[in-house]
Structure 1
Amino acid sequence: MLNRILLPLILLVLQLPLHAQETPKPVEWTFTGSNSSGTPEIILKAKIAPGWKLYSITATDEQPNTRIVADSSWAAQMGTPVETGKLENQPEPLFENDRIPYFQNELEIRIPLQNLSGQQLLKGSINYMALKGEEIIGPEEVPFRFELEADGSLAVATLKTVDGTQGIIKRAAIQLDQPAADCGGTGLVKEGEGGLLNIFVLGFLGGLIALFTPCVFPMIPLTVSFFTKKSQDRKKGIGNAMLYGFFIFLIYILLSAPFHFLDTLNPEILNNISTNVWLNLLFFVIFVVFALSFFGLFEITLPSSISNSVDSKTGVGGSVGIFFMALTLALVSFSCTGPILGSLLAGSLSSNGGAMQLTAGMGGFGLALALPFALFALFPNWLNAIPKSGGWLTTVKVVLGFVELALAIKFLSNADLVMHWGILKREVFFGIWIVIGLVTSLYLFGLIRFPHEGPVKKLGTTRKVFGTLFALFTLYLIPGLTNTPYANLKLLSGFPPPLTYSVYHHEETIIVNDYEKALKLSKELNKPLLIDFTGWACVNCRRMEENVWPDANVKALMEKFILVSLYVDDRKLLPDAEQFIYTNEKGVQKEIKTIGDKFVTFQTENFKNASQPWYVILSPEEKLMNNPVGYTPDKQAYADWLQCGLDAFEKK
């Protein structure tokens, strides 16, 4: 049962960006306004797909129904809605044979309005439910907007269309290839190499952890012995084992391939994935499920039909058979590697929004899994030195479960930050982590155990060491609960919520910075403009703000700029008058409805980059002073870049 729920959720994560492949909705709505009878009306028309039933507005609240909901700004008086269509009322087996009124094929709803004076914009939504067989959808919300024309009639309000020549998004003065000084750099070669290496190492460490799980560890001696004994000579056996290891590495690399297509299709997609509220909540749920699985409450496996189908092909001779053996290992070990891969997937996408990070992480993970099979084939005597499978593998899984819980809180925090809910302030975040760390320590010291485990008869040295490490880490977290200078835990900088998102700060901590106001101030004071493209859920942004910006030298230089921080993942809606459809130079249209929509489009259109943090120095005339830079943890390097931009401005 769990597999049927969890696997579609994981697939949904991968399919969210592919809007072009969405299937048609069961009900398509169109809206028009009318004044033909002398009374203004809004008309909502539904085209219902064959086989679907759209429930009537006359159904009761306890039944599946359709409802028209007016926005809080709606001041006009709404008359009684009138439905037009073939109303049917048949017993519905899915709802204990209740007779629930519904429509098929089409429906028209007319709503007369009165007292429209002073009402320029009418906003609302139609919330409907529909049924086909045993499949039911809803309540689905479809928003509508109407404008009151000068003659008293109503017209559907559409977003105004803006193109690049109008200067709202695309700025003609910003020439990326013409900086006043040639310092800094926008290329991946200059700025991405260290980041890719770090993610590769993290992926490698994740792969090493996966080796010591019950799904993978026992496979090492069995598989190596299979290759070395089955082959006619030792040389061929070693070659087959190494080919097997290479295929494991290749399979995990291939898993990241679709994300390169998405990244090329739209550079903003992966950034949108990593900061999407519902996706972060989905990751939170999935990681909690993974943790419960590691605690032994149930086991997550891929459907047996998939693994059996792949396993049946392992008997094929030569390289093809070896490839399917590697694929079988990847599938049957999913219950242990899945949570670690999920962490890698989510962490890589949120690190900089690029697919190369994910490939680097997957490559490190695959290499760590593949190495033992190649090394033990070369040196079979080493097999005698590896420990036997046993209860210690269960301990590894349980500890990983606690780690998964901690990571789940991080994704819940991302959603909280982006939406400004205020439920996971910095101290609450640390409080939960402290509890998790304390329970993990108690478990490792044998003071807590799970029902499926026997009593700990003797604590081994390794268990004591890790128990002590978790205890020390928990003690390190405690100052994070305080309102003192020690609350800035630099080892975790960027991972918890920012220092300003605190229970001790009673003032408004949500800052919405305005580029136009900052540019105006830059002109008035004749100071260069320092743009900080950032995000509420951006880890490296917090590291820069908490570790680099407070440096005395950097802080003194930044005071000579007008600083504006533009949050590309802010989901707060722009005022109605400021929402529009932007058309870029390639003719691609994009709706600009939120603050984040506006700023991420501003970044990609003018600076051909969608990663955060991203720093740009402009003159008051919007001339580029030097090359933009991204994450720069070296304080002196960042100070040198600021000084270079400042020197270029003063010379200009």
Structure 2
Amino acid sequence: MKYYFKIILLFVFTTLISAQIVRTDYVESELISEVESIKPGESFWLALRLKMDEEWHTYWLNAGDAGLQTKIKWTLPGGFTASEIHWPYPEKIYLEDLANFGYEGEVFLLTKITPPQFIEQTEIEIKAKASWLVCKVECLPGDAEYSLKLPVSDSTPQTVQNWQQAFSDTRFNLPLKNSDWNINSVKYEDNIKILMNPPQNYTEVNKIEFFPYDGSIYQNAVDQNFTRTERGYELTIPFDDFKVEDPDTLKGILISDIGWRGENSEKALEVIIPFNQAEGVGTADGSGIILALIFAFIGGIILNLMPCVLPVLSIKIMGFVKQAGEDKKRILKHGLVFTSGVLISFWLLAGTLVALRAGGQELGWGFQLQSPEFIIILSIFLFLFALNLFGVFEIGTSFMGFGAKASSKSGSAGDFMTGVTATIVATPCTTPFMGTALGFAMIQPPLVTILIFTFLALGMAFPYLLLSIFPAWLKYLPKPGKWMETLKQFMGFPLVATVIWLAWVLGLQSGSDGVIALLAALFFASFGVWIYGKWGTFNNTNPVKIIARVVAVIMFIGGLLFAMNTTTNNVSPENFRTNNTTGIKWAKFSQQRLNELRSAGIPVFIDFTAAWCLTCQVNERVAINSANVINMIEEKNVIPLKADWTSRDDEITKALASFGRNSVPLYVIYAENLSEPIILPEILTSGIIVDALQKIN
């Protein structure tokens, strides 16, 4: 008797958690629940199970060259919501010259149901109507209606043992939202290339395929060209000859034969990546690279106007004023040596970036400023430069490119060092055009990368090279006089201000101990150069001069070593304006948080920034924190995310790379009603941001 009673209970229970099986032409289907009961406010999974007869198939969300995706229409109790279908990755099904994306055998199409926080009923009923197209050679439409009843309980829901493995396996086959791989996409005239750089210690991949979300854009039936490159892998996919639109974004999933997190891991990865070609840069074999070089050159010219560069280059301008009466060949030599200093510095920077990225490091423009040690060295260098301008000491006759009667040798050294110095202090700045060019450079072969950095350097040196080639233009500059000494001393103050700003950056990276260590190093260095200026010059006897120089060097090196040993990088930069008590209430950026907000349909504004990025700081104070922008963010219910790159963060580096960038600032707006994310320019006004936010419905 007990045996028959158990059979009856099992039958009743199964009826509750599974709708009746429906048999239509070549398809067996049913609606099933993962849980035995539901709890108010706690989401749960339902699945539409489709089991096709042998050699028959149904379709994925993009059916490929022919077919229709499966659809589900829900009838839910009040307060319940249903997600879109969560599609497991498909297979490619060939039929003569066509390629379709779909499923053979059995497939579970998942939907997440979210109940309200309070449910009056003790049992709820969920109804659904599904429609599909099932094909072999011929195709037949199919549909069915389902009704599923589930009890309501405050206890933790238990999973249904019969379906536990099916739900688990299906979730395993859902696309990952992110991975440790660095993936970029480049659009060409006839095809696209997907560039995939793996993390260190990865498992060798034999095959990767791309399945697009959008139909009628790519040739689905042709073999995708999968090749091994110096940095990773490359996948080439041709456009359809009759594509219905010209895409700006790569949208779809990548299927790896090994898995994206190592062997036997998840094989599907979702990619939604703007093409680098979207801003006109991308082709490495034609007009794209020419445009990238033009962008780099223009960006280099604009660098001269950035506040981080202007104090140094003002010294070069004074040098030209002094040279106005000199021989034309001598003036040209000054310009060429200065240009060589800029060029060699940019080549060293580009070579370092290429070498480190080839070794698997995720780096971008300004990467050295993510190092507290470099911040200390740069701060001391600029502080001593300021003391030199104030007249506290002189090194030789022309260390930084200024001096009254420089010899040919020392003058050339000064011109060269001015070029080097200008390059070093330029790294915190990013200009319009420059971000696009650098983002393109980082996904190209090393020679192309170095070529783009070369044009960036030439753009920066161009105004001064032009003056040296046409010295007659120097007559339009003011004549030499006492004003030059006053201007030289005045330009020391922006350098001191820069040191204060760098100390602030160091504090964000290393805490108050790092700032104290830097101040101590500046004290010892300044004391040392004062001793050098007082007793280490040629006006003193040899013993005094030698002792003064030795003491100066000891104090300089001692202060530097003390700061290096004290500085640590154990303070998270997340406190950098993410916990503001006034203005915009920033949340910390993470790819997972972004995916969650986008899945919920919540609009997002991302600020990719860094404390050492002067352009970022100006934008924040002038535009982002304006009342108009704050009000618009609140009105549109936008969640602002701060991606703080002050210290090295591989997740932010990868996020930048997904937009074809490797530098900050970058500003991105996501919204459910926008087909593509809005990318704002590098230099902002409040009007630009407000206009973009108004596009959110």
Normalising by structure 2, what TM-score? 0.39
* Structure (1 or 2) with the larger CA radius of gyration: 2
Flag the structure with more relative contact order, 1 or 2, with Cα contacts below 8 A and sequence separation at least 6: 1
